[in-house]
Amino acid sequence: MRLFVHLLTAAVVYGASVAATPLAAQDLSCERGDREVRALRFAGNREYPASVLAATVATTPSTLPGVPLLGTRRCLDPVEFARDVQRLETLYRRRGYPDVKVDTTVQTVKPLVIDITFTIREGEPMRVSGFGMRGVERDPDLEGAARDFPLRVGGLFDRSALEAGRDTLVRRLRNLGWPQAEALLAYTTNTARRTADVEVTVVPGARARVGRIAIDVDTSNGPRYVSDAMIRRTMALRGGDWYSVRQIIDAQRNLYQTDAFQRVELQPDSVQPPGDTVVNLTARLVQGDRYAARGGLGWATLDCFRAQGSLTDRDFLPYAQRLELTARVSKIGLGAPLDGADDFCQGQARSDPYSRTLNYYTSMTLRQPVRANQARVPSLTLFSSTLSEYKAYLRRTPIGGVFSLSDPFAFRPSPNTPSTLSYQLELGRTEAEPAFFCAVFNACDADLRNFLQRNNRLAALEFSLSRQRVNDPLRPTGGTIVRATVRHASTLIGSDQTQQFNRATGDASWYRQVAGATITAHVRAGIVQGRGSGNGVGSFIPPQERLYAGGPTTVRGFRQNELGPAVYIVSGYSTIDEDGATYFRADEQSVAERVVPTGGNTLVVGNLEAQWASPVLPKLLELAAFADAGRLWNRGSGARGASLRADGPLIKITPGFGVRVASPFGAIRIDLAYNPYALPAGAAYFNAPLQEGIAPLYCVSPGNTLTVTGATVNGQPPVQLSGSCPSTYRPSRRTGLFGRLNPSIWIGQAF
């Protein structure tokens, strides 16, 4: 926690230096005596919505006017106000409204507070009475390039659309083999009749093909390691193809994506006779370093100290296949064998039994760089790992491999919609509390638990698809992000019997700017279905494939993974004699020492958040208000589902507020959420101490009917009847406002 305080202090210093100049400008915009703009309205506008007009003018209203500390005051600038009238009139005239008039109304609401209204009289529009396209008759490809020109007879005489159409036409022609193509515009207007005659003349020049492609590599940074064959293969440009500006740009991008070059220029030769039907190209490249190494060190709430590093060989095989060696380590200072620094680790991490083992991930990846005309880009990864899920399980994978193929199908909707098909094969085991296996998989017998925790083979086929259309990938304020993943494992593709399931998850995020605030809406859903049985285990879903919720990226009113089903490890129990039988049951003195999230097979989560600049240090700090909702449950759980309904509404809603702190290493999200709900009822277990090599697990849920026989004689522990442990234990939780607040910290975008 002390390290986090130091990081936060550094972020404040950094943000203060960044924010100093804009703050001064903002103070000047609202000096003493200036009039604050409370509201900005538009009247009479039919052609453009108010949102477009508001983006055109410089005058801007205050955000959250009248709300102290939360809003930002903005005042009237008389010079820009006068220019706003000209901006609106110019916008309309270019659209085809030559008689537009813009009037303004300034209404004083109270001293030094005003409302502004722009009243627009659009007038009669000017329309296209005649349209001609010349110079495309001789070639069907020319006619195809001129299709869907934005102006048409009877439509508005929109000069912006006319110029945009000309640019689109020229770009298409230069991508179809006419490197010197141009389009000339001409129009005449009749003001009295409100008409315009438009003519577009296409001057294509000579159609040309690609000729010789020369390669010039600057090796001043070291000996050359990239061959001409690799460069030509990556560019995928061939002599004899029609000249295309787009293909030349694609070739440059593909060369950059190999990461083997510091600079790439692919241009036609400067000495090119006009009208030549062959265009020679020269690729001028500045070679970069063959090897690259990166490393980093950080701290996180659940990971304590963590480190990562990578080494890349950009020309491992003859065609520049990349070799990437990667290593990540977390739980440093807490997990054996790199433990011994508990004081630097947060309390949540110290209370997690699975954080007592060092988490690591090492991998070796062989990847083919992207090249034109090849959507299916393969990669092969071999890895070894030990990874834990907070208070749920520890997954050990001595060896595993993943073969993936990007964009495996031909139906990719757009460049912003990448997809990946992968096949994963690994040998590993999952370690969890005995209570976890007993409650979730009915594996209460020690031999059966040992079977489930031995090394098993998991083979999974996965397809993922995403679409990202946001204005900023790091801090979006507009657009959408959609992701979906389908995962299948069965004996047909190589899995063990106990590792069979179907899993589907998806989430979507929407970002919008409303009244100076960024509104984020996010939904996530998932479903898992076990498919097989083996060794007495029913429909089995591996713990690492189950769904979990709760924490800073899902429902912030709950601690990590603690939304949904759980079992409890209690501190003790009482021995009860009823009707001549003996039972172990938790009593009022029994305390839940540990919550063991068991996850679920069905998940629904929704988040709604508003985020706006702080009135103090607005470039450094942002304030946020949010409401999270979610439900995680097991379909077909019978009485267990009824128990969940007894815990309150099926959908849990937790509101809260937070602060966002800008920093060089990402936005720090500090949230405080209110959780009014009781802890869910679940099965209660007692882990008895080791006796003669046996550590029995006893069900101690109130009302259980599992009889106990025998007593501790010669070190042998009592024996409890096998059977289902009912979810009747409800742990107590802190009451009062502060007892129901749950803090969370996250770095980066949560949704």
pLDDT tens digit string along 538-580?
A: 457 888 899 999 999 999 999 989 999 999 989 889 999 988 8
CA distance 652 to 644: 11
Q: Are residues 177 and 218 in the same domain?
A: no
Q: Which class for 384: exposed (0-12), middle (13-18), buried (19 or more C-beta within 10 A)?
A: middle
CA distance 456 to 489: 13
Q: Are residues 53 and 80 in the same domain?
A: yes
The DSSP line for 22-53 is HHHHHHHHT-TTPPEEEEEEEES--SS-HHHH
List Cβ neighbours of 357 (8 Å cut-off, separation of 6 or more).
Answer: 331, 335, 336, 386, 388, 394
What is the average pLDDT across 345-353? 83
Q: Are residues 198 and 275 in the same domain?
A: no
Res 646: pLDDT: 57
pLDDT at 347 over 50: yes
pLDDT at 491 over 60: yes
The residue from 72, 98, 121 where one domain ends is 121
User: If you average pLDDT over every residue of the chain, what do you get?
Assistant: 85
Asked if residue 422 belongs to a domain, the reply is no
Please report, rounded to a whole number, the percentage of residues in the chain having pLDDT higher than 70: 87
Q: Are residues 242 and 281 in the same domain?
A: yes
The residue from 203, 232, 251 where one domain ends is 203
Nearest residue to 565 (alpha-carbon basis) of 652, 455, 476, 449: 652
Res 5: pLDDT: 38
**How sure is the predictor about 25, in pLDDT bands with cuts at 50, 70 and 90?**
very low
Res 535: pLDDT: 44
Q: Are residues 157 and 233 in the same domain?
A: no
Asked if residue 482 belongs to a domain, the reply is no
More confident residue, 346 or 3: 346
Q: Are residues 43 and 117 in the same domain?
A: yes
CA distance 555 to 653: 8
pLDDT at 26 over 50: no
Asked if residue 214 belongs to a domain, the reply is yes
Strand, helix or coil at 356? helix
**How sure is the predictor about 537, in pLDDT bands with cuts at 50, 70 and 90?**
very low
**How sure is the predictor about 587, in pLDDT bands with cuts at 50, 70 and 90?**
confident
Res 68: pLDDT: 64
Q: Are residues 43 and 95 in the same domain?
A: yes
Q: Are residues 110 and 67 in the same domain?
A: yes
Q: Are residues 199 and 220 in the same domain?
A: no
Q: Are residues 187 and 213 in the same domain?
A: no
Cβ atoms of 519 and 610 within 8 Å: the answer is yes
At 443-474, the pLDDT tens digits run: 776 777 777 788 889 999 999 999 999 888 77
Cβ atoms of 704 and 726 within 8 Å: the answer is yes
pLDDT at 701 over 50: yes
pTM score over 0.85: no
List Cβ neighbours of 57 (8 Å cut-off, separation of 6 or more).
Answer: 40, 84, 87, 88, 118
More confident residue, 564 or 66: 564
The residue from 287, 304, 322 where one domain ends is 287
Q: Are residues 168 and 151 in the same domain?
A: yes
pLDDT at 16 over 50: no
Half-sphere exposure of 433 (CA within 13 A, CB side): 29
DSSP state of 563: B
Place of tokens 């303004």: 104
Q: How many domains does the chain have?
A: 3
CA distance 676 to 61: 38
Domain that holds residue 196: 127-203
CA distance 241 to 235: 13
Asked if residue 230 belongs to a domain, the reply is yes
Sheet containing strand 182-190, edge to edge, reads: 127-134, 195-203, 182-190
Of 481-485, 531-535, 569-573, the poorest mean pLDDT is in 531-535
What is the average pLDDT across 26-46? 81
**How sure is the predictor about 21, in pLDDT bands with cuts at 50, 70 and 90?**
very low
More confident residue, 126 or 32: 126
CATH number at 258 reads 3.10.20.310
pLDDT at 314 over 50: yes
Asked if residue 544 belongs to a domain, the reply is no
pLDDT at 6 over 60: no
Res 547: pLDDT: 94
List Cβ neighbours of 445 (8 Å cut-off, separation of 6 or more).
Answer: 722
More confident residue, 102 or 540: 102
Q: Are residues 252 and 282 in the same domain?
A: yes
**How sure is the predictor about 406, in pLDDT bands with cuts at 50, 70 and 90?**
confident
Asked if residue 382 belongs to a domain, the reply is no
pLDDT at 712 over 60: no
What is the average pLDDT across 101-128? 94
Res 11: pLDDT: 44
Asked if residue 63 belongs to a domain, the reply is yes
Asked if residue 629 belongs to a domain, the reply is no
What is the average pLDDT across 141-155? 91
**How sure is the predictor about 673, in pLDDT bands with cuts at 50, 70 and 90?**
very high
